[in-house]
Structure formats: structure tokens, C-alpha cells
Structure 1
Amino acid sequence: MTDNAAAASWSKGTAGRRARFIDAAAFEWIKVSTVRSTWWTLFAAAAITISIGAFAGSDADPGAGVDFVLREIFVGLPIGQLAICLFGALAATSEYGTGSIRSTLTAVPKRSRLLAAKALVVFAVSLVTGLLISFATYTAGTLSLGAAVARPELSDGSVLRAVIGGGCYLGVLGVFALIVGLVLRASAGAITACVGLTFILPLMFHALGPLGDLLLKWWPTEAGQQVLHVVPSETRLAPLLGLGWFMVCTLVALALVTSRITRRDA
């Protein structure tokens, strides 16, 4: 179903009454769930992260500690997260690319409500997908571990927090990518920006010495990934604090983008 068709179908169902937030959220869900690229993108995120985790688990060092083993299992997350970025960015830019954003604004004229509903749906889809990916990666990785390798157990609170936190990180990342898409409005530019912000820039920071360490500590996506660490790093934010910082930065950015979009043309 195209975005224009979804808008027309949704408008008929709400004719004669004011659109509520739940209506706007249902509208956004119809658009997301009926586009094939959504499911192919999320499948790619799962396939990449899980397969790399299984391979990394089979090659884990028998002398390594639980924290190192778990990080090895989740070593594919920085690559798999790019697919989540693609999903979040396309949730915004596809409407601008096809011009269907005008139909969307006709169906839901209150832009703050529209963007809140869009962010909620993207977050919900990314979160559920992220949790499934995280637990599946953990399972595949631990099953492939050698007999002599230390096994991260979910009965360990820190390990469980890391696995759940990995899914939550991907949930917030989807909204982060949505925001980039709303700012740039072009799919190619938004995807390129997401790759740069989540992957390339953090790699470049490593070459900047003490300044790079400071930037890595407070860079939102890098701070959010600290939740995957069983043993907190001495030079980075604590796991839950890092994830919280990523969430705060994302919410502030969403508020700024919402304010900007409500004052400009479609």
C-alpha cells in the first residue's frame, strides 16, 4: 500500500470526527507495516547481527572474561544497527520523496501530533525488533561458544541488563534516525548522515587522543552502547547512564525538530 492510499483509507475511516493521537498512531502503523522495505530492512538488521554473533561466539577466547565474551557476541551490532538507521530514516524521507507528505498533513494537520505518533510507531517497531535481535544474538552466540569459554548467563543481572539494554538502544536509535530523516528530507542524505554519525565519526574520534576520548564519552550513540558492557568502562559513562543520555539527547532533538517543522512548509 502506498502512503497516499494509506492516507485516503485512513481519512475515510475517521471522516466526521477530529483525528485523535491514537488515530494518528494507527495511520503511521498502516504506512510502516504495509511497505515491504520495512520488513526487509529489519530482517537485514537481524540477519547481520545474529550471524556475526554466532560466528564471533564460536571464535571466542577460552581465557576471556564474561564481559569480553558478551562484547564479542554483540560485535555485529554496530553493523546491524545501520539497518535500523535505514528503517528510521526511510520512515521520514519516503513521504518527502514521493510527495505523499501533503496527504499525510491533510489527514493529520496538527504536525506535533503527527510527529509524536510517527516517533512512537518507529520506536515501538525498533524496540520490539531490537529486543528480538538482542536475545536471538545472545542465544546464537552462547550456543556457539566452546566448552572452555566463560558463558554469560542471564541469571547474572549485569548480563540480563546488557541484553535487554541492547534492544532498548536499537529502539532509541530508530527514533534518532527518524529525526535525521526529518531534518534532511532526502533518503540518500539521511542514510549517509546516519552512517557518519553512528559509525564513521566515532571511529575518527579514536585518532584524536584525549579529545577523542572525551568526545566518545559524551557522543550519544557511543554512550548508548555502553549498556552492552557487563563491566562498566572507567573512561565512559556508566551503562544505564549512557543509555539515559542517549535517550535524553534524542528527545531533545525530536522536540527541536518538531518545533522547526511546525513553522515551515511541507
Structure 2
Amino acid sequence: MSTPQPPLPQAPPTWPATPDSRTPGYTSPIPVVRTHLGHAIASEWTKIRSVRSTMWTLGVFVLLVIGIGLGAGALVASSSSDLGGESPLSLGFFGLLLGSMCVITLGVLTTASEYGTGMIRTTMTACPSRGRVLAAKAIVFFLVAFVVTLVAASVVALAQTSMLENHGARVPTGGEWFKGTIGVSLFIALLGLLSLVIGSIVRHSAGAITIMIGLLLAPLVIALFMFAESLSKVRTGLLEYSIPNQLSVFYSNSLTSSGPTGWDPLWIALGVTAVAFAGAFVLLEKRDV
């Protein structure tokens, strides 16, 4: 009598193969979409409009630009002084100079604050392409800063022109209107974009803000206290290329008789920002998050 044989081991069940592959097939209920720059821009737009720092910094910026601009115009209009044919748009310089510090602060916080809170790890996990993240932040911030500055500068320009038309102010030309609204808005937005890049390089909000405030004010302040004749060329160079002087060029009211003219400040700001952006991109790719 033969002994019964043990059952042969059966092969494990296999997943049904997909039509185009011999690998195990699986259909996810979640649609898989290839990400692109548009998704990163949408994410950064959600972030920048949902944090309180954006509302506070831009709110103070608008108050400074419009408040100081209208105040300066009202002060001249209520006095007996005559502008002597000067463009009324030049009075908008004071509000924009102070307001630029708000744009600088927001630019730094757009990048550096994520390193302080650790949120940058979540951002880089969701979008491993670091260059795409930096580009999305730059695009969103630049557009926001440009639009807000343009609206505020246009309101001030229109109000000052209306208030000072009977006080010896000349009617601004089309080129002056363009430089005093579009041009100055591009310059302020580029200054904020440079702050964003510095925030990405330094990765520390207070340190980056200090660097940018120093870049904004230090050259002018240092030049004002250079009394030695041997330092005259250095003093002149600091005055000519200081940010306040470059900002005044857009109002045809330069602090010096030489130096940048016309649209030169915009090209200088664009070149410096582009170099800093390239450096930030290289460091972002090399350093750990």
C-alpha cells in the first residue's frame, strides 16, 4: 500500500499584469498630475495672501506712501510757497522712501521666515525642485509688490497734481508720469525682490532685514559725514549710487549733478538682483534644507 504524497507547494498568486507592462498593475483612485511652475506659483500665492505679515507690511506701506504723499501735497498747497515750475510728482519721493522699508521686510520674510519655522521642509517635500520654488516665490512677490506700489504711487501722483496745479507746479509730461508711476513701481518691486533673495541666502529674518536696511540707508548716511577733501570722490560715489538718490532720479530730482540718470537706476537694480538671484540658486542647490 503506497503512502500518500504531501501536496506540492502552490505558487503565490500574481497580480494581473497591465496591458502595456509585465509589472504588477495598480490603478490609483487619485489622479496623478505632472507638476509644473504654475502649481508652485499657486502654492506661493496661497501662502503670501494667507499670512498676517503680508497684510501688515503692505498695509503700513500703503499708509506711508499715501499718507506722507498727501500730507506733503497738502502742506505745500496750504502755504504761500511756489513750486517754481517743478513737477508735483516729486513730492511722492518721501513716502516711497520710507515705505520701501516695508517692502524690504516683506521680501525677506517671504523666504527667511520659512527657515525659521521649519516650514521650508514641507515646501521642499511638496516641490523637490528647489529652483522652481525660488522662482515661484520671486514671481509672486514681484507681481504683488509691483501692483501695490503702482496703485499707491498713482493715487498720490493724481492727488498731488490736482492739489498743486495753482501753486506754480507744471503739468507733468507723459514720460514723467510713466517714470513716476510705472518706473518707480518696478524699482521698488526689484528692491523687494533683492530682499527676498538675500533672505534665501542668509536664512535669518533679522539678519537679512538688517543687511537690506543698511544697504538702503548706510551709503547716504556715511557720505553725509565724509568732510575730508581726500574722500570727496568716495563721498560723491556713495551719494550717486545710494538707493535714495536712485529713487529720486525717477522724479527728475537727483541729489547730485552726476551719476545715474533716466532709467539707469532700474538697470542697476535689475543687474544686482539678477546676480544675487543666481548666487541664491547655486547655494539653494548645494546646501541642506
User: Which TM-score band (shorter chain)?
Assistant: 0.7 to 0.9
Distance in 2 (CA, whole Å) between partners of 1:140 and 1:231 is 19
- Asked if 1 retains the 8 angstrom alpha-carbon contact of 2:239 and 2:245, the reply is yes
Equivalences for 1:43-54 in 2 at 5 Å? 43-54=59-70
Seen in structure 2, the aligned counterparts of structure 1 residues 223 and 104 have a Cα distance that, compared at 3 Å, is: farther
Equivalences for 1:13-24 in 2 at 5 Å? 16-24=32-40
Secondary structure, counterpart of 2:38 in structure 1 = helix
Aligned to 1:115: 134
Distance in 1 (CA, whole Å) between partners of 2:272 and 2:74 is 36
Distance in 2 (CA, whole Å) between partners of 1:172 and 1:59 is 31
Q: 2:235 aligns with which of 201, 212, 234?
A: 212
Query: What is the CA-CA distance between 1:200 and the residue it aligns to?
Result: 3.1
Distance in 2 (CA, whole Å) between partners of 1:191 and 1:158 is 32
Distance in 2 (CA, whole Å) between partners of 1:228 and 1:124 is 20
Aligned to 2:201: 183
- Aligned residue type for 1:169: F
Seen in structure 2, the aligned counterparts of structure 1 residues 152 and 211 have a Cα distance that, compared at 3 Å, is: farther
Query: What is the CA-CA distance between 1:231 and the residue it aligns to?
Result: 5.8
Q: 1:65 aligns with which of 85, 89, 92?
A: 85
Matched, 1:105 2:121: no
Distance in 2 (CA, whole Å) between partners of 1:224 and 1:24 is 33
Aligned to 2:3: none
- Asked if 2 retains the 8 angstrom alpha-carbon contact of 1:133 and 1:167, the reply is no
User: Which structure is larger by alpha-carbon Rg, 1 or 2?
Assistant: 2
**Unaligned regions of 5+ residues in structure 1, if any?**
1-13
Aligned to 2:114: 95
Secondary structure, counterpart of 2:286 in structure 1 = coil
Seen in structure 2, the aligned counterparts of structure 1 residues 70 and 203 have a Cα distance that, compared at 3 Å, is: farther
Aligned to 1:147: 166
**Unaligned regions of 5+ residues in structure 2, if any?**
1-29, 227-231
Aligned to 1:165: 183
CA RMSD of aligned residues (A): 2.2
Aligned to 2:12: none
Aligned to 2:247: 225
Aligned to 1:259: 282
TM-score, normalised on structure 1?
A: 0.85
Seen in structure 2, the aligned counterparts of structure 1 residues 136 and 183 have a Cα distance that, compared at 3 Å, is: same
Matched, 1:243 2:266: yes
Distance in 1 (CA, whole Å) between partners of 2:104 and 2:133 is 20
Query: What is the CA-CA distance between 1:227 and the residue it aligns to?
Result: 4.3
Secondary structure, counterpart of 1:265 in structure 2 = coil
Distance in 2 (CA, whole Å) between partners of 1:235 and 1:70 is 21
Distance in 2 (CA, whole Å) between partners of 1:137 and 1:161 is 14
Query: What is the CA-CA distance between 1:151 and the residue it aligns to?
Result: 4.1
Seen in structure 2, the aligned counterparts of structure 1 residues 227 and 108 have a Cα distance that, compared at 3 Å, is: farther
Deviates more, 1:229-238 or 1:182-191: 229-238
- Aligned residue type for 2:101: L
- Aligned residue type for 1:171: A
Query: What is the CA-CA distance between 1:222 and the residue it aligns to?
Result: 4.6
Distance in 2 (CA, whole Å) between partners of 1:216 and 1:100 is 40
Which structure has greater helix proportion? 1
Aligned to 2:5: none
Residues paired across the two proteins, number: 250
Query: What is the CA-CA distance between 1:224 and the residue it aligns to?
Result: 4.4
Seen in structure 2, the aligned counterparts of structure 1 residues 168 and 15 have a Cα distance that, compared at 3 Å, is: farther
Distance in 2 (CA, whole Å) between partners of 1:66 and 1:163 is 17
Equivalences for 1:198-209 in 2 at 5 Å? 198-208=216-226, 209=232
Seen in structure 2, the aligned counterparts of structure 1 residues 223 and 256 have a Cα distance that, compared at 3 Å, is: farther
TM-score, normalised on structure 2?
A: 0.79
Matched, 1:81 2:103: no
Query: What is the CA-CA distance between 1:187 and the residue it aligns to?
Result: 1.6
Aligned to 2:45: 29
Distance in 1 (CA, whole Å) between partners of 2:162 and 2:221 is 30
- Aligned residue type for 1:161: K
Seen in structure 2, the aligned counterparts of structure 1 residues 163 and 226 have a Cα distance that, compared at 3 Å, is: same
